[in-house]
Chain A
Amino acid sequence: MAKTARPASEAGPRPGHELSNDRLLAMYRVMAFARAIDERCLSLQRQGRIGFYVPASGQEAAQIGCAAALTDDDWLFPAYRELGLALWRGVTFRTLMDQFLGTSADRLKGRQMPNHYGYRERNLVVASSPIGTQITHAVGAAMAMQRRRAPQVSATFFGDGATSSNDFHAGMNFAGVYRTPTIFFCQNNQWAISLPRERQTRSATLAQKAEAYGFPGVVVDGTDIHAVFDAVATARERAVAGEGPTLIEAQVYRFGPHSTSDDPHRYRSDADLAEWKRRDPILRLREELQNSGTLTETGESELQDAIRREISETIAAAEGAPPIDPATLFDDTFAQRTPRLEEERAEFERLVREGVIRP
């Protein structure tokens, strides 16, 4: 049953899954924007202007190819490395910068480290740091979609490391049992911080794990946006037709560090990185668009200029935003503050007045 280890693009996209040049250009713009944001935010972190950053460079075709094959009504349950999803769903860079900085405009009210965002109106559920926990949430939401007879799917995003987690097993198992409309989108970026993919599992592929749970698993070249789009569109068709879940293993490479807190030179070779960079998903798509005459040299340089300008202006504006009101700390633990939280809030405000706590 499982179509494992078969690149979905081998025979070209299935009928109806072809991408027009205009669509590809739109995807390319978001990919280029994502790459530029990554590069700027890594440097902002090194300058101490944001506290932390998780780059997604190298995974743009996987993320945007996947997001484009879903509808805006489909629910996304991301990990913390899904910049492409957020941008494709229309989250603005300003919204993200407010989250990275924890300004008064941050929709998450300064509660989470950079990259752990989510926006309800985009059906992009807020991420957390524990690995794999979002996988069972996606399955539960899909069970709710079944109950409501909603023509939606849930898609969950995780890495190679997460396939070792409890919730990967639990989520895959429940999805198989209840045949939920769920897409398990694994971005195998080859590294879980310092540990290579081979040290997570003896399985030949991650996709083949699906077979044991009774549904298909497919491997795709995650640097080939056509292959990703085709695989996800196929999985979505299966899901809404009531045929159940699909596991997709998109093989990519994490170009940067796991986060700004590690140095990949300690655990991996430059040769591997160089090899994968020859398949940089952005270069691949740019070349294709240039070959088809969809993107000119002028068009490319105008795009890069516009991206640079938008990023600089947005960072400046967000850095000028007022800081968050400290008393908001006591909101949202519960729907209403309990008497104890009211008391703690009053104590906090007194200590601020007395100068003991200096926000």
Chain B
Amino acid sequence: MTEMTLVQAVNRGLFEAMRQDPDVLVLGEDVGVDGGVFRATDGLINAYGAERVIDTPLSETGIVGTAIGMALYGLKPVAEIQFLDFIYPAFDQIVSELAKFRFRSGGQYPCHVVIRAPYGGGIKGGVYHSQSTEAYFCHTAGLKVVIPSTPADAKGLLLTAIHDEDPVMFFEPKRIYRTATGEVPDGDHRVPFGQARTVREGEHVSIFAYGAMVPLASEAAAALARDGISAEIIDLRTLVPLDEAAAIASVEKTGRAVVVHEAARFCGFGAELSAILAEKAFYSLKSPVLRVTGYDTPFPYALENVYLPSAARIEAAARTVVREG
């Protein structure tokens, strides 16, 4: 075990995957010589060379399209999109091609590409360096969507993603790249998909979160505990496949739910989770499910602190669902 930050854990995961399998390669903008704008790919080019750590022209559709061609041929490309906000030129490739290759070919052409992208606000990134649009990808059949919140999960989920058989969108909460620190297992470390993590157990309310919202939920839970409200925090970790069983079991225990994400509320992931709870845990619910989310506006620069969910907003929502039921 080694203590490290979340972005260092991503870096360690990439090193480990490239060490394990010569077919793994990394491509993207500034991932080689520069080591990535957040240093996630730092040192890889020195260890594995420019043939496996490929600095690409500035074209997201080119990055993802060529990664697809490599994967069809049998390599295991890990493509980096510098910010999730810049992924849209590749949207056609991701939605029309990557997500559908296996299905549309009747299983003849698996297309295993991992796409890493830093996402989310809290770094004064304004409209175009802050977005959290995981729901687009969750809505597209054929993509797995993974968001770690701890260094150990960042490495473990990334290694699982690289060794998976399906396309994986791997979104990294850049706001906590350096503030989230923790012990990370050395060498090969895998965290399975489809298993939520119980961050803390509680009796009165379930708080569902992922990525950079998990530490805020913990902060809220600590404040609630001082008033005798016991909050359970579930870190979803993989949105697709989703650990529905864990979500339902938690609500069956607590009877109350708050869903937290920084993405806009309307048709956000919270809408899906709320619907699942309404369909499958309705009779356990003592009060309506509440969502604590970004607002239904584009992401702001100067006002990001009031746009983003805070521990205080999570705490207030939890108090509301406890008071009402």
Contacts and interface: CB of A to CB of B under 8 A. Distances in A.
Interface of A: 75, 77, 106-109, 111-112, 116, 118-120, 125-126, 128-130, 133, 135-145, 147-148, 154, 166-167, 169-171, 173-174, 177, 331-336, 338-340
Given A133-B93, A174-B59, A338-B194, A139 B69 contact: yes
Given A145-B73, A166-B89, A174-B56, A106 B166 contact: no
Contact of B66 (A119, A143, A334): A143
Interface in B231-249: 240-242, 244-245
Contacts of A154: 69
Contacts of B72: 125, 137, 140-141
Top 4 A-B residue pairs of the complex, sorted by shortest distance between their CB atoms: A140-B69, A136-B65, A140-B66, A170-B62
Contact of A108 (B92, B97, B106): B106
B141 interface: yes
Contacts of A135: 65
Interface string B89-122: 1001100110011111111111000000000000
Contacts, number: 152
Contacts of A141: 69-70, 72-73
A48 B144 CA distance: 38
A235 to B, nearest CB: 18
B144 to A, nearest CB: 7
Q: Range of interface residues on chain B?
A: 35 or more
Contacts of A125: 72, 109
6 contacts: A136-B65, A136-B68, A167-B93, A333-B103, A334-B165, A340-B241
A167 B61 CA distance: 7
A142 B69 contact: yes
Contacts of A177: 57
A339 B107 contact: no
B73 A75 contact: yes
B176 to A, nearest CB: 28
B131 to A, nearest CB: 21
Interface in B136-169: 141-142, 144, 164-166
Given A137-B72, A141-B73, A334-B142, A108 B66 contact: no
A194 B65 CA distance: 28
Contacts of B109: 118, 120, 125-126
B278 interface: no
Nearest to A120: B108
Given A111-B103, A167-B61, A140 B70 contact: yes
Most A-side CB within 10 Å, residue of B101, B105, B165, B244: B105
B67 A140 contact: yes
A138 B68 CA distance: 9
A177 B63 CA distance: 13
B74 interface: yes
Nearest to B95: A130
Most B-side CB within 10 Å, residue of A119, A130, A147: A147
A143 B107 contact: no
A108 B102 CA distance: 10
Most B-side CB within 10 Å, residue of A130, A171, A174, A332: A332
A336 B241 CA distance: 11
A147 B69 CA distance: 13
A332 B25 CA distance: 25
Most A-side CB within 10 Å, residue of B73, B75, B100, B108: B73
Nearest to B64: A136
Most B-side CB within 10 Å, residue of A112, A116, A166: A166
A171 B64 CA distance: 11
A117 to B, nearest CB: 9
B69 A137 contact: yes
Nearest to B96: A130
Contacts of A119: 108
B164 to A, nearest CB: 8
Interface in B15-46: 25
